[in-house]
Amino acid sequence: MTSSQLRQQLLDTMRSSTSSGLNRGATGNLSVRFKEGFLITPSGISPTDMSADDMVFMDMQGKWSGDHKPSSEWRLHREILLNRPEFDAVLHAHSTFATVLACLGKEIPPFHYMIAAAGGKTVRCAPYATFGTQTLAAYALEALQDRQACLLANHGLLVAARDLPQALALAIEVENLCEQYCHLLQIGTPIILSDAEMEVVLEKFKGYGPNAVIEANESLQKTDS
* Confidence at residue 66, expressed as pLDDT on a 0 to 100 scale: 82
State pTM to two decimals.
0.90
Residue 225 has pLDDT above 80, yes or no: no
Q: What is the largest CA-CA distance in the chain?
A: 55
Indicate the fold that domain 3-193 takes in CATH. Answer: L-fuculose-1-phosphate Aldolase (3.40.225)
- Catalogue the active-site residues: 73
Q: How far apart are CA 125 and CA 71, in angstroms?
A: 22
Boundaries of every domain in the chain: 3-193, 194-225
pLDDT tens per residue across span 1-56: 899 999 999 999 999 999 999 998 888 999 999 999 999 999 999 999 999 999 99
**pLDDT(213) > 60:** no
105-149 residue pLDDT tens: 999 999 999 999 999 999 999 999 999 999 999 999 999 999 999
